[in-house]
Amino acid sequence: MMCFFSTYLLTCILYLAESSHFRGGIISWKPTDNHQIEINYRVAFRASSGHACDANTIENGTLLPGEGSLQCVEGCSDTITTMSYYCTDFSATEDWTSGTNSIKYNLSASSNNLFTFGFSSCCWIPLVEGSSNWRMRTTANLTVRQDTGKINSSPVSAMQPVVRFSYGCDHTLKIPVSDDDGDVVKCRWSKRTPNDECGGVCETLSGSYLDQSSCVLTYNATQSTGWYAVALQIEDFQKTTDTVPFSSVSLQFLIFVANLSESCASRPFLPQNIITDGSILHSSANKIFNESIIARSGAATLRVTAIDTVSPIGMIKSALFPFGTSGREWFVTVTWTPMKSQIGTHLFCYTAVDNLGQTSDQTCATLVVDEEPNDTVVLNQDCNAFKTPEKVHTKCIEATTGVPKIFYLATSCSSYFVQCNELGTGRIVRCAPGTEWCNHVLTCVHSGSCATEG
Ligand SMILES: *[C@@H]1O[C@H](CO)[C@@H](O)[C@H](O)[C@H]1NC(C)=O
Ligand SMILES: *[C@@H]1O[C@H](CO)[C@@H](O)[C@H](O)[C@H]1NC(C)=O
Ligand SMILES: *[C@@H]1O[C@H](CO)[C@@H](O)[C@H](O)[C@H]1NC(C)=O
Ligand SMILES: *[C@@H]1O[C@H](CO)[C@@H](O)[C@H](O)[C@H]1NC(C)=O
Ligand SMILES: *[C@@H]1O[C@H](CO)[C@@H](O)[C@H](O)[C@H]1NC(C)=O
Ligand SMILES: *[C@@H]1O[C@H](CO)[C@@H](O)[C@H](O)[C@H]1NC(C)=O
Ligand SMILES: *[C@@H]1O[C@H](CO)[C@@H](O)[C@H](O)[C@H]1NC(C)=O
């Protein structure tokens, strides 16, 4: 690959070149070690155009072919990747699949660290405003920051690919944003000039108002029914008063305005769930995260028909079931066992949809995946007694009551393990000569043959 640099910025424009069933997405990035950046993208496509995704695809971790490719257009001039993705969410009724993937991209040393990535696409949906040629442009400045001493990480978002508004109603849409550096994040409309950030979908949704500092879009849906594309740049700044961002991330999604006979107050509603808006939930790598999400219909005559999610890779959503006896509430359960490679923060969002296609406000939370808990039991030098006997009881109870139940723990001595019972009593056991404890298979194996987990 060739990268050409000027003086400070690495601007990689991600052009998703020529994709015809695109339904929006986001392109963000963060630095990794060794003069590399990791570009993260989420893309949504029309499901019925060959983008088959179901619970199996998600569970199996199947990589699906995307459409188009991501190009570096400033600072370098390569095709970075085709837009293959791990499907994370799908809607049969709205005919979309959405998924995400990341790619590590090596950068050449240079005095100008600005890169721009781009993607362009042609959308099959006839839009109320705009020409339905999509173009995305994300910019990264890889200069080491003076305030943090590190290279910046861009802001991220987790928008649904399709947002539904009701004709005649006033809508407030909060764009979920987050930034790993804790920077000030602002949103603005993408522009055609001086650099084309949005092709035919620039500054649509006339009559709407975007509050740049809160990233809240308000729109009174009194113009036309039908499809609108929204193209925004999400930008991070050191201070509120700064005008030059560290990075500019392209976010695009669709709004559908439908003419419904119900009153504006009859939209579905999300009661206080464990995963509340703005909450931060912790889980650990290789441990099961399992939560239910309840939604309520906006009127006795209406039914909740879906709870749509924007999920991290590998999260499975159950079917929708009735909840309680009110006849107005339904729930899904989301289950996720994060991989070690997913240690870090993930935005997770959901909305409820009813039988008229009305949607609730979006609820978004941050899921933090921590390192695996250290279950190692420390033994004395001779490996025949616990160093901290008082901790063994707790560790055995945790292990034997967890999901799945585990009856063995690793120790600080490689040829020994602890056998627990459900009363919390642990017993030190020695592996047969020539073997050692191998914790991820929970058995003793020939010394040196316990391959570490991927
Ligand atoms: C995905 O999983 C299902 C069952 O869970 C299995 O039947 C199918 O063959 C798997 N597909 C792939 C591509 O691994
Ligand atoms: C990127 O750099 C890493 C180490 O710095 C190297 O192992 C890898 O092969 C490089 N990849 C490409 C595509 O040049
Ligand atoms: C890139 O970031 C550096 C350090 O924050 C700043 O001095 C420089 O002006 C930025 N370049 C551009 C083009 O924004
Ligand atoms: C939407 O209508 C309300 C009154 O119903 C008004 O206060 C608000 O300013 C309007 N918003 C926009 C963006 O036109
Ligand atoms: C909305 O539906 C009503 C009743 O069906 C109809 O009278 C009105 O013209 C429709 N408006 C639009 C913009 O389609
Ligand atoms: C997740 O929670 C649901 C509801 O509480 C429960 O029925 C299900 O068995 C749990 N699944 C796992 C894998 O723990
Ligand atoms: C777990 O803790 C023990 C004792 O403090 C330490 O020796 C071991 O390296 C730790 N293991 C991991 C995977 O952090």
Q: What is the CA radius of gyration of the chain?
A: 25
Residue that has been written with the tokens 């939560």 in this structure = 291
pLDDT of residue 452: 62
Protein residue closest via CA to atom 9 of ligand 2: 106
In the structure, what pLDDT confidence band is assigned to residue 87 with cuts at 50, 70 and 90? very high
Protein residue closest via CA to atom 9 of ligand 6: 290
| CB contact at 8 A, 269 and 286 | no
Of residues 93 and 223, more confidently modeled: 223
Query: CATH 2.170.140 spans which residues of the chain?
Result: 389-446
Q: 9 pLDDT exceeds 50?
A: no
Average pLDDT score, the chain: 88
Residues whose CB is less than 8 angstroms from the CB of residue 272 and which lie 6 or more positions away in sequence, other chains included? none
230-275, pLDDT tens digit by residue? 999 999 999 999 999 999 999 999 999 999 988 999 999 999 899 9
342-356, pLDDT tens digit by residue? 988 999 999 999 999
pLDDT of residue 168: 95
CA of 81 to the centre of ligand 2 (A): 15
CA 348 to chain CA centroid, Å, is 6
Q: Which residues of 170-201 are buried (b: 16+ CB within 10 A; e: fewer)?
A: ebebbbbbbbebebbbbbebbeeeebbbbbbb
290 lines ligand 6 (CB under 6 A): yes
Q: What is the average pLDDT across 368-397? A: 85
Query: CATH 2.60.40.60 spans which residues of the chain?
Result: 10-259
310-341, pLDDT tens digit by residue? 999 999 999 999 999 999 999 999 999 999 88
Query: CATH 2.60.40.10 spans which residues of the chain?
Result: 265-370
Protein residue closest via CA to atom 3 of ligand 5: 259
Q: 286 pLDDT exceeds 90?
A: no
pLDDT of residue 231: 95
Q: 302 pLDDT exceeds 80?
A: yes
State percent of the chain over pLDDT 70. Answer: 92
CA of 8 to the centre of ligand 3 (A): 6
CA–CA separation, 388 and 216 (whole Å): 53
CA–CA separation, 153 and 344 (whole Å): 13
The answer as to CATH 1.10.3720.10 being correct for domain 265-370 is: no
CA of 290 to the centre of ligand 6 (A): 6
172 lines ligand 4 (CB under 6 A): no
Of residues 15 and 66, more confidently modeled: 66
Residues whose CB is less than 8 angstroms from the CB of residue 161 and which lie 6 or more positions away in sequence, other chains included? 23, 24, 25, 44, 96, 98, 253, 254
CA–CA separation, 344 and 282 (whole Å): 10
Whole-prediction pTM value? 0.80
Tokens of 351: 């909305």
438's enclosing H/E stretch is strand 435-438
DSSP 265-327: GGS-B----SS-TT-EEEEETTS-EEEEEEEE-SSTT--EEEEEEE--TT-EE---EE-SSSS
390-445, pLDDT tens digit by residue? 889 988 988 898 878 899 999 989 999 999 998 989 999 999 999 999 988 899 99
CA of 326 to the centre of ligand 3 (A): 57
pLDDT of residue 1: 26
pLDDT of residue 5: 35
Q: Are strands 435-438 and 85-91 parallel, antiparallel or unpaired?
A: unpaired
Q: 11 pLDDT exceeds 60?
A: no
In the structure, what pLDDT confidence band is assigned to residue 41 with cuts at 50, 70 and 90? very high
337 lines ligand 6 (CB under 6 A): no
222 lines ligand 4 (CB under 6 A): no
Residues with C-beta less than 6 Å from any ligand 3 atom = 8-9, 114, 141, 143, 145, 244
170 lines ligand 4 (CB under 6 A): yes
pLDDT of residue 24: 87
CA–CA separation, 35 and 243 (whole Å): 27
Ligand 6 pocket: which of 286, 292, 315, 333 to mutate (most atoms <8 Å of CB)?
A: 333
pLDDT of residue 17: 45
Ligand 1 pocket: which of 53, 54, 56 to mutate (most atoms <8 Å of CB)?
A: 56
Protein residue closest via CA to atom 13 of ligand 2: 106
210-239, pLDDT tens digit by residue? 999 999 999 999 999 999 999 999 999 999
100-144, pLDDT tens digit by residue? 999 998 876 555 677 888 877 766 678 888 887 888 999 988 888
CA of 292 to the centre of ligand 6 (A): 8
Residues with C-beta less than 6 Å from any ligand 1 atom = 56, 60, 62
CATH architecture of 389-446: Beta Complex (2.170)
Of residues 450 and 290, more confidently modeled: 290
Q: 201 pLDDT exceeds 60?
A: yes
What's the fold here for domain 10-259? Immunoglobulin-like (2.60.40)
411's enclosing H/E stretch is none
CA of 440, nearest ligand number: 7
pLDDT of residue 404: 85
CA of 211 to the centre of ligand 4 (A): 13
Residues whose CB is less than 8 angstroms from the CB of residue 277 and which lie 6 or more positions away in sequence, other chains included? 363, 364, 365
In the structure, what pLDDT confidence band is assigned to residue 20 with cuts at 50, 70 and 90? low
